[in-house]
A and B are shown apart, each in its own frame.
Chain A
Amino acid sequence: MTILVLLLCILGFALFGLASEGHHQRWLGRFPTARRKKRMRAAGWGALVGALPLAWAVAGGIVGPILWTGATMLGAAIVFLFLNLVPGRRQDPRRGHR
């Protein structure tokens, strides 16, 4: 169940990260429309907020929020490292090779 909290946080931050122009282009091959960005960010928030009651249920009212905070940090770090260090699907035509 703790893993599920972390997975939701990773999902949330992955949506945030992919909603940024550079990463969206690099991973999905095209620039996101404004509407698409908005939707991805909303879904990201949904995943993050949804992880909180789950963490609460897993670890209780005291440790739960701490676990949630920790999972958001770890999720953000995992997404950050993945998006930046793993070679993307498409090369960025503007910035040349990476």
Chain B
Amino acid sequence: MNTMDTNTRGFRQSQAFLHTWSGLLLGWILFLVFVAGTIAFWREGMNRWMRPELARVEQPMQVLAGAQRFLQSKAPDAKSWFITMPSARTPGAQLFWQPQVKKGEPRRRGGRRDNQALIGADGAPAHARETRGGEFFYRFHFDLHYMPVIWARWLVGFATMMMLVAILSGLVTHKKIFRDFFTLRRSKGQRSWLDGHNATAVLALPFHLMITYTGLVTLMAMLMPWAVVANYSDEARIFDALFPQAQAVERTGRAAPLADLRIVVQDAQRRFGAPAGFIEVSDPGDAAARITVSQSSASMLSSRTPRLTYDGVSGRLVWRSPAPGGAAVTAGAMIGLHAGRFADDGLRWIYFLCGVAGSAMVASGLVLWTVKRREKLPDPARPYFGFRVVERLNVAVIAGFPLGIACLLWANRLLPAGMRGRAEWEVHALFIAWAAAGLVALACRPKAAWPALFGITGALLAAIPVYNVAATERGLPAWLAAGDWMLAAIDLALAAFGLFAGTIAVRVARFRPELRKSRARRVVPAPATPILEPAE
């Protein structure tokens, strides 16, 4: 079906060609993006899981009051404060503040690290381990790592476009996916791989199309800037149109006490009819102070949530964001649909499982490239160079990246709390482990490297919940007893994925390809080297 024969230039052949090569060349990046994005659906959960010493927030308003107390003593004359509204889903109230820009002093960037804090469930500054938590997976999903953000976004944006190409051409190429909707031929070599690839693609097809298209929408201003350029001569005006703000007020220099944030937020929540998500205070302690409260993005589909601005001294409402225009609502809804922040637990699980299916679809597609070509190799013992590159890159990425993630999670548990640059070293641990896995993949035969890497990943993942119970105060039994399903589910999921990786390792290690009699008529000898991929 999928021949590279350029003599047969039918529509399906051209689509098969497009599907094969758009999928292969960008497939490795897509796998990383899919896996990181899938984990990022539990971004809030990971933010909490990676700070296990923190208690769950039970009284958000008490934490908010603690945040205000802390900021008033720490940064009383800051230019602005930013507070994420604490809830049972957050590790606490995450704060950061911008110091006043002094005259004659250049504006510094990147000073954010010294100007941030976390307020715990008891309202006092929390002394938690330094970690990027779930934010790492969220940023890596589109910013990658160790490279300028703009390059990464172009790379991910291009890969996403190819993903859209691959999905649409795949619908044509795998023409039987709807007729064979319920078919899974097991232990049948290439047929099984094809069925698995098709099943993960077609079962979650609405998700794949949605996530790819809306993913492009999140990057649209970068990928296709012309609509903005043609309609807005001034960059500030498009910003105002998209993110309208209350009229800015000049700092007066007269001191005036800031209103109680709890009362302001309570009023905002009453007006929204929904929880608050984010609070920004400009010129705190000044007579011109302003408090802006945004509605939580968990409460509505659109990612562009309404905002209210209050006078910071009297606590009087002075501005409300206007109803957004049609285009802004469309973009907001698409981005909201992509990020899934609106989704409750049940729907979030569906998002997550769809992401798992997408990762499996990309991985099985990459493996399928080698499975299909292996049978046609003139000499299976000595495959051509390109084949070996793809085969080993598959091991390095599909088995190596999950191993890196397992190491990041272990680094989160094991690195000493007082270590300098601890949060960065957690991330370095991922890439060091991944690089080591990559070397193993390049140096060893895939037949040995697949089970070795998957085996280690499985053992590492499955051991984390055990470690949590044995070596920390919390863990699965404690979380279950406290009804903290968010963290309990993460431990259970890690155990399940550990088991799954272990199963793959065992199956690949045990796999012995059978000499297929039906192929015996071929001049090509039956594969002398084992087929290196797992049977299903």
Measured CB to CB, the residues of A under 8 A from B are 2, 16-17, 20, 22-23, 62-63, 66-67, 69-74, 76-77, 79-80, 83-84, 98
Beta-carbon nearest neighbor of A71 in chain B: B350
Known: A79-B182, A80-B182. A74 touches B206 (CB 8 A): no
Q: Is the CB of A77 within 8 A of B342?
A: no
Cα(A77)–Cα(B184), bound, Å:
12
Query: What residues on A are CB-neighbors of B207 within 8 Å?
Result: 69-70, 73
Q: Is the interface of B mostly helix, strand, loop or mixed?
A: helix
**B342 and A63: CB pair below 8 A?**
yes
A26 smallest CB distance to B (angstroms): 11
**Distance, CA A80 to CA B199, complexed state (A):** 8
With A23-B182, A77-B353 known to touch, is A67 a contact of B199 (CB < 8 Å)? no
Q: How far is the CA of A37 from the CA of B183 in the complex (A)?
A: 17
In the assembled complex, the Cα of A98 lies from the Cα of B187 at a distance in Å of 9
Instruction: From known contacts A2-B346, A69-B206, A70-B350, infer whether A77 and B357 are also in contact, taking CB-CB under 8 Å.
Output: yes
Q: How far is the CA of A63 from the CA of B346 in the complex (A)?
A: 12
Set A17, A22, A74: member contacting B353, Cβ < 8 A = A74
Taking A74-B353, A77-B204 as contacts, is the C-beta distance between A63 and B301 under 8 angstroms? yes
Chain A residues with CB under 8 Å of B18's CB are none
| Binary contact track B180-195/A, C-beta < 8 Å → 1, others 0 | 0111101000000000
Among candidates A20, A62, A69, residue contacting B182 with C-beta atoms closer than 8 Å: A20
User: For residue B337, which residue of chain A has the nearest CB?
Assistant: A66
A-B contact pairs, 17 of them (CB 8 A): A16-B182, A17-B182, A62-B301, A63-B301, A63-B342, A63-B347, A67-B347, A70-B347, A70-B350, A70-B351, A73-B350, A74-B350, A77-B204, A80-B181, A80-B184, A84-B183, A84-B186
Q: In whole angstroms, how far apart are the Cα atoms of A55 and B337 in the complex? A: 17
Q: Please give, as numbers and ranges, the residues of chain A lying within 8 Å of B206 by CB-CB distance.
A: 69, 72-73
How many residues on B have C-beta within 8 angstroms of the other chain's C-beta atoms?
22
Q: Give Cα A69 to B203, complex, Å.
A: 11
* Cα–Cα, bound, A17→B353 (Å): 21
Cβ contacts under 8 Å, A2 to chain B: 346
Report how far A2 CA is from B350 CA in the complex, Å: 12
Chain A positions within 8 Å of B301 at CB level: 62-63, 66
User: How far is it, in angstroms, between the C-alpha of A70 and the C-alpha of B337 when the chains are bound?
Assistant: 12
Closest chain B residue to A14 by CB distance?
B182
Residues of B within 8 A of A70 (CB): 207, 347, 350-351, 354
- Tell me, in angstroms, the Cα distance from A71 to B300 when the chains sit together: 19
Given contacts A16-B182, A63-B347, A70-B350, contact A77 B337 (CB under 8 A): no
Shortest Cβ distance from B346 into A: residue: A2
The answer for the CA separation of A32 and B24 in the assembled complex, in Å, is 41
Contacts of A22 in B (CB 8 A): 183
Residue of A nearest to B208 (CB): A73
Q: How far is the CB of A6 from chain B (nearest CB, A)?
A: 9
Tell me the B328-365 residues at the A interface (CB within 8 Å). 337, 342-343, 346-347, 350-351, 353-354, 357
Provide the bound-state CA to CA distance between A46 and B18, in Å.
37
> What CA separation (Å) do A2 and B204 show in the bound complex?
19
Complex: A20 Cα to B182 Cα, angstroms: 8
In the complex the two chains form, is A76's CB within 8 Å of B203's CB? yes
Contact B350 A80 (CB under 8 A): no
Distance in angstroms from B407 CB to nearest chain A CB is: 30
**Cα–Cα distance between A2 and B199 once the two chains are bound (Å):** 25
- Contact assessment for B346 and A73 in the assembled complex, using a CB-CB cutoff below 8 Å: no
Give the one of B182, B184, B204, B353 with max A CB within 10 A: B182
Beta-carbon contacts of B292-312 to A below 8 Å, as 1s and 0s?
000000001100000000000
User: Are B347 and A83 in touch, CB under 8 angstroms?
Assistant: no
Partner of A73, one of B186, B204, B300, B343: B204
A5 CB to nearest B CB, Å? 10
Task: Return the chain B residue nearest A19 by Cβ.
Answer: B182
Looking at A66, A67, A76, A84, the one whose CB has the most chain B CB atoms below 10 A away is A66
**Which B residues touch A23, using CB under 8 A?**
182
User: In whole angstroms, what is the CA distance A84 to B186 when docked?
Assistant: 9
Instruction: Find B186's partner among A66, A71, A79, A98 (CB 8 Å cutoff).
Output: A98
Query: CA separation between A62 and B300, bound complex, in Å?
Result: 9
In the bound assembly, the distance between CA atoms of A77 and B196 in angstroms comes to 12
